[in-house]
Structure 1
Amino acid sequence: MVDVSQHELVPDHTVLDDAELEDVLEEYDIKKTDLPKIQRRDKALPDDAEVGDVVKIVRDSRTTDTAVVYRLVID
């Protein structure tokens, strides 16, 4: 079976630790529940991602080299 998360077109997904999460929430002045959602069954998520975690996704961008987005993992 193919591991989709390792495909070259899938951007890097990283689970944030508590300190990183606090920095992100403070920077944007939001609550964790205000973040866009991603379902736990999404094949691009790391195996250690659990419901309630926040994932940092780093994508290639034509205008800024990289674009960073954050998603809250839901069931």
Structure 2
Amino acid sequence: MVNVSEHELVPDHTLLDDPERVEEVLEEYNVKRTDLPKIKRSDPALPDEAEPGDVIRIERDSRTTDRAVVYRLVVE
């Protein structure tokens, strides 16, 4: 079986497992956790240890900024 998360076109998905780092991100963007865009737990690109309620950092290539970073809230 193919591991989708290792495909070259799938951006890096990193679990933010430090609660302080999550709070820094939420404060930086002046949002609540529930205001973040959602990503389903069943998404094959997610790390195996991701659970509903976790925050994921996604880094992808960007033509304008070289690397774009976005955050998603894991939902069921």
Q: Does the residue aligned with 1:24 lie in a helix, a strand or coil? A: helix
Within a 5 Å distance, the mapping from 1:44-55 to structure 2 comes to: 44-55=45-56
Aligned length: 75
TM-score by length of 2: 0.96
User: Which amino acid in 2 is paired with 1:63?
Assistant: T
1:24 CA displacement = 0.3
1:69 CA displacement = 0.3
Q: Hey, which bits of structure 1, 4+ residues long, moved more than 2 A?
A: none
CA offsets 1:16-72 (integer angstroms, 9 cap, x no match): 121110100111111000000000000000111111000000000011100000000
Between 16-25 and 36-45, the greater mean CA deviation after superposition = 16-25
Question: What's the counterpart of residue 40 of structure 2?
Answer: 39
Within a 5 Å distance, the mapping from 1:1-75 to structure 2 comes to: 1-16=1-16, 17-75=18-76
Q: Does the residue aligned with 2:14 lie in a helix, a strand or coil? A: strand
CA distance in structure 2 between the partners assigned to 1:58 and 1:48 by the alignment: 18
Provide the alpha-carbon RMSD of the alignment: 0.5
Unaligned runs of 5+ in 2: none
User: Which amino acid in 2 is paired with 1:57?
Assistant: I
CA distance in structure 1 between the partners assigned to 2:50 and 2:8 by the alignment: 20
